[in-house]
């Protein structure tokens, strides 16, 4: 018996959700119905019929309601503002975490006697983390630009450190390259979200 009440509640949730959508949003659900749960689609169809957007399920065969495939891209377009905000915050948190690396390197440099270089790297990490944390709170295009510039500085500094090594190992280059590519992807994705 509890199973029926759970299913009934879920149906009511879908009915309520579809009832709150605008006509355009409801049409979008119908166009992408293959990507929704069956109960959600049924609720969307009922709501569309109630609003007069369609007269019956057969109207879904019309060209305007043909199912649209989801496109996979390197930088997907996110239509929902709420989802876009969550992704922005998540990407910014990743960039914030990336700022820990220069902090650690700065402390190591300070402890090994390279005071000026250590302070520079430590300051760099703090500035990076400050800017990344501001992106968590709100989208600032200038902050992203500054992070791009800081990334270029970090690439130059890391390249200098790498080439000063007596022996350059493949894994060193590989890991550094992957880390910078991930950071650049995150920054570019954030830029495109704006």
Q: Output Rg (C-alpha) for the chain, integer angstroms.
A: 25
Same domain, 108 and 188: yes
Looking at the structure, tell me whether residues 152 and 98 fall in a common domain: yes
Q: Which of 65, 97, 118 is the last residue of a domain?
A: 65
Judge whether 119 lies within some domain. Answer: yes
Our count of domains for the chain comes to 2
Residue 6 pLDDT: 43
Query: What pLDDT sits at residue 178?
Result: 96
Query: What is the residue range of 150's domain?
Result: 81-193
Give yes or no: residues 58 and 114 share one domain.
no
Clarify whether residues 105 and 169 are in a common domain.
yes
Which residue, of 35, 65, 95, is where some domain finishes?
A: 65
Structure tokens at 93: 């948190």
The parts of the chain modelled with pLDDT lower than 70 are 1-12, 67-71
Contact 100, 183 (CB under 8 A): no
Amino acid 12: pLDDT: 66
Please give the pLDDT value at position 70: 60
Confidence (pLDDT) at 63: 79
Whole-model pTM: value is 0.66
pLDDT reported for residue 102:
95
71 lies in some domain: no
pLDDT at 155: 96
98 burial class (0-12, 13-18, 19+ CB within 10 angstroms)? Answer: buried
What b/e sequence results for 162-175 when a residue is b if at least 16 CB atoms lie within 10 Å of its CB, and e otherwise?
Answer: eeeeeeeeeeeeee
73 lies in some domain: no
Q: Looking at the structure, do residues 174 and 93 belong to the same domain, yes or no?
A: yes
pLDDT in tens, 37-71: 888 888 888 888 888 888 888 888 887 777 666 66
Query: Are both 116 and 167 inside the same structural domain?
Result: yes
pLDDT of res. 66? 73
């Amino acid at each position: 018996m509890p199973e029926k009440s759970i299913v009934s509640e879920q149906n009511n949730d879908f009915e309520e959700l579809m009832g709150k959508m605008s006509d355009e949003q409801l049409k979008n659900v119908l166009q992408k119905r293959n990507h929704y749960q069956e109960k959600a689609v049924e609720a969307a169809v009922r709501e569309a019929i109630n609003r007069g957007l369609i007269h019956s399920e057969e109207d879904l065969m019309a060209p305007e309601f043909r199912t649209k495939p989801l496109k996979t891209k390197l930088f997907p377009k996110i239509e929902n503002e709420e989802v876009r905000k969550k992704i922005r915050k998540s990407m910014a948190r990743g960039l914030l975490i990336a700022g820990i690396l220069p902090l650690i390197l700065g402390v190591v440099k300070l402890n090994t006697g390279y005071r000026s270089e250590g302070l520079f790297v430590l300051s760099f990490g703090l500035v990076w983390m400050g800017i990344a944390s501001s992106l968590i709170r709100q989208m600032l295009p200038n902050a992203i630009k500054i992070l791009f510039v800081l990334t270029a500085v970090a690439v130059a500094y890391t390249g200098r450190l790498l080439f000063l090594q007596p022996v350059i190992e493949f894994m060193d280059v590989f890991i550094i390259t992957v880390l910078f590519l991930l950071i650049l992807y995150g920054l570019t994705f954030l830029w495109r979200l704006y």
